[in-house]
Amino acid sequence: MTQGSPGLGLAAPAWHGSDMLEQIKPTYRVVTRRCSLNEDRYRWLLLSSDRAHKIHAPDSYKTEAEAQRLGEIEASFLNEQDCSAFS
């Protein structure tokens, strides 16, 4: 379904709230790195698919595997969040 644009003779898509939010909601992936404050520890970093967001781990972890696992939990939570929170 389209709606006309006044004066331009163009058709624009009629967006429906949740459909549009689903299309623009970024997904997150996990990257691990050494902690800059303590080089013997690791942190996770979440990067959004739209490259607009970076979320840094508030804590450091003893192993890279631990940082990866906890970062994946955080990314999973963000990726599964209901878009209705944004409307």
What gap in Å lies between CA 25 and CA 39, rounded to an integer? 34
Rg over alpha carbons for the chain, rounded to the nearest Å, is 19
Whether the pLDDT of residue 29 is over 60: the answer is yes
- Predicted TM-score (pTM) of the model is 0.65
Measured CA to CA, the distance from residue 59 to residue 20 in angstroms comes to: 34
pLDDT one-digit tens code per residue, 46-68: 999 998 889 999 999 999 999 99
* Contact present, 35 and 56 (Cβ < 8 Å): no
Give the pLDDT band (50/70/90) at residue 81: confident
pLDDT of the residue at 28? 95
Supply the pLDDT for residue 17: 54
